[in-house]
Amino acid sequence: MNKNIIVTAGGFNSVNNYVSEDNIKLFKEIAENKKVMVLSNAAPEGTGNYIARENVRENFLGVGATEADIIDLDDSNLDLILDYDVIYILGGNTTPLIELNKNPKLKMNILKFLEKGVLIGESAGSIFLQKDAKYYYDIKKGTKPKYDVNLDTYACLGLIDIFIYPHFQKANEGMKNKISEYEKEHNIKIKRLNDGEIILY
């Protein structure tokens, strides 16, 4: 894959997260004269990330995107994926994305899109790029109601081969210990990702 998947914690969401100058430069390179979809399922109305929808859209227009559309995907409009050059998966709550992924057409269209487009994940959107999100719900259990759910599946897109913990710079000592314990117990490695850091795939 020629580096067309971008894994971030803070992404281009400058209302909730820190966005570094290097990231702004990269997003400009990616989005200038391009059509951008801000895939917003993870940030429904009434959530803290809802205001980030408009913020991210404006940030992409600010670096020269010809179009930036806030889109909630569902079973009826999955073909919209193929109309864009860049797809930015907004952060917030991974659960609506996991629910959407029950339709196999989502991954099928994203794989087709990746033949020419760039896919960017922000926080929960980056977790959705992984194979499975169960580890994250386990670690975050008890911190917010959105993690205290029992889903019938935690399967995500499976496009990257790492597990991440976004916004690591905000983690307290208790959380840092919890991550380390989980790694030992389950024999997995979790990449601590701070706002402003990116991983290219």
Residue 189 confidence (pLDDT) above 80: yes
Q: What percent of the chain lies above the pLDDT cut of 90? A: 98
Mean pLDDT to the nearest integer, 180-197: 97
**Six-digit token string for 8:** 């971030």
Q: What is the mean pLDDT of residues 78-83?
A: 98
Task: Tell me the C-alpha distance between 89 and 95, whole Å.
Answer: 13
Count the helix, strand and coil residues of the chain and give each as a percent rounded to the nearest 5: 35, 20, 45
DSSP labels, 139-190: HHTTTSGGGS---S--B-----S-EEEESGGG--HHHHHHHHHHHHHHT--E
* 2, pLDDT greater than 70: no
pTM of the model: 0.97
- Alpha-carbon separation of residue 188 from 118, 137, 161, 184 (angstroms): 28, 15, 11, 7
pLDDT tens track for 85-141: 999 999 999 999 999 999 999 999 999 999 999 999 999 999 999 999 999 999 999
189 CB neighbour count, 10 Å cutoff: 7
* Predicted confidence (pLDDT) at residue 75 exceeds the cutoff of 80: yes
**Rounded Cα–Cα distance for residues 54 and 40 (Å):** 10
- Asked whether residue 148 carries a pLDDT value surpassing 70, the answer given is yes
Fold for the domain defined by 5-200: Rossmann fold (3.40.50)
Q: Per-residue pLDDT for 1 more than 50?
A: no
**Residue 162 pLDDT:** 96
Percent of the chain with pLDDT over 70: 99
What is the pLDDT at residue 43? 97
What phi, psi does 88 have (nearest 5°)? -110, 115
